[in-house]
Amino acid sequence: MDDATVTAPAPDEDIDLAYDVFARSCPSRHTLEHVTGRWGALTLGALSENTLRFNELRRRVDGVSEKMLSQTLHALERDGLVHREDRQTNPPRVEYRLTPLGESVAERLLSLIELIEGKMPEVLAAQHRYDGRRPA
Amino acid sequence: MDDATVTAPAPDEDIDLAYDVFARSCPSRHTLEHVTGRWGALTLGALSENTLRFNELRRRVDGVSEKMLSQTLHALERDGLVHREDRQTNPPRVEYRLTPLGESVAERLLSLIELIEGKMPEVLAAQHRYDGRRPA
DNA sequence: CTGTATCCGAGTGGATACTG
DNA sequence: CAGTATCCACTCGGATACAG
């Protein structure tokens, strides 16, 4: 991938428009999708509580398949949000933890998740109203 | 859909575990996906700045198709995050705006988005390191 | 302008089996 | 335990055409 596809920020200026998620070619979109994607969000959430091993994560993130968890972890590791530590022991023991960057991302993500969880009664009420008006 | 599939909260108690996004059957997962999904996040972000009409949204959310925008807006409206107002005029004029609930969700979402945009240099550096170690 | 309907390819994602 | 590899169903999502 080419990383120069976006409005190139002059290194000696502080441009706050450097990365704009609203632009379709901005690399921040990919990272945002890793973070907010179906399994990315839950994985970051789980790791914000503890360092976890692969199968511990699988159990914590209810419903994720091996394939998706593996894929998700690779993407998050590549983005520098998750650190993978292979203890090289027998039996194998691999631990996943958040990097400092991952922690700050997870913090804001969890704030969003908790808000939504707390507002679910309102959301469900809205859904019922909507479905009632459009019974099709 | 059945809305009683989750740990039913006793109406007269304040249980903060009532909706747990980590449980695969929790309805909050659907809402979280609408909010954080590829187009949901950008749509909420765009509407947090202004009330917008359909085609204004299409232009703001660079790359979205009519179909996806329509679908996204329906989901967000159903969840009670977006209000749709049809002016019933000719030519047609339909405005989309955030509800109060939508605003609080968008606020936290934008906080996350802005963090990621700001950290993109770190993320890209991490990606290069990762790709360098695993050139395959 | 504001959408819906249809087609269709590309990617998602689950189940299973297998390797180290 | 910690994954990878493969198969395959299904959905996503874009392009296009059309409707109110």
Within-domain flag for A123: yes
Partner residues linked to A85 by β-bridges: A95
Residue B105 counted as domain residue: yes
The pair of three-digit structure tokens given for residue A60, joined into one six-digit string: 């914590």
Sort out which chain A residues have CB atoms less than 8 A from B46's CB and list them: 22
Residues 13-42 of B with CB under 8 A from A: 16, 18-24, 27-28, 31-33, 35-38, 41-42
User: Which CATH number does the domain housing residue A43 bear?
Assistant: 1.10.10.10
Number of separate domains in chain A: 1
Q: Is residue A15 part of a domain?
A: no
Amino acid found at B68: M
Average pLDDT over residues A68-76: 95
Q: Is A63 left (phi over 0), alpha (psi -120 to 50) or beta?
A: left
Report pTM: 0.87
Do A111 and B108 make contact, defined as CB atoms within 8 angstroms?
yes
Judged by DSSP in three states, B53 sits in: strand
Cβ partners under 8 Å of residue A1, min gap 6: A27
pLDDT tens-digit series, residues A25-56: 899 999 999 999 889 999 999 999 899 999 99
User: Would you call A16 helix, strand, or coil by DSSP?
Assistant: coil
Q: Please give, chain by chain, protein residues whose CB is below 7 Å from any atom of strand D.
A: A 53-56, 66-67, 70, 74, 84, 86, 91-94, 96; B 37-39, 63-68, 92
pLDDT tens-place string over residues B82-129: 999 999 998 999 999 999 999 999 999 999 999 999 999 999 999 999
Token pair listed for B81: 């995050």
Residue B35: inside a domain: yes
Give the pLDDT of residue A17. 59
Please answer yes or no on whether B123 and A31 come within 8 Å at the CB atom: yes
CA distance B26 to A45: 16
Q: How confident is the model at residue B16 (pLDDT cuts 50, 70, 90)?
A: low
Q: Is residue B8 domain-resident? A: no
Chain B residue numbers touching A4 (CB-CB < 8 A) = none
DSSP string, B10-46: PTTS--TTSS-TTSTT-THHHHHHHHHSHHHHHHHHH
- Please check whether residue B11 lies inside any domain of the structure: no
**Do the beta carbons of residue B76 and residue B43 sit within 8 Å?**
yes
Q: Does the pLDDT of residue A75 top 60, yes or no? A: yes
| Residue B41 falls inside a structural domain | yes
Amino acid at site B9? P
pLDDT tier at B3 (50, 70, 90 boundaries)? very low
- Domain holding B42, by residue range, is 28-133
Tell me, yes or no, whether B20 lies in a domain. Answer: no
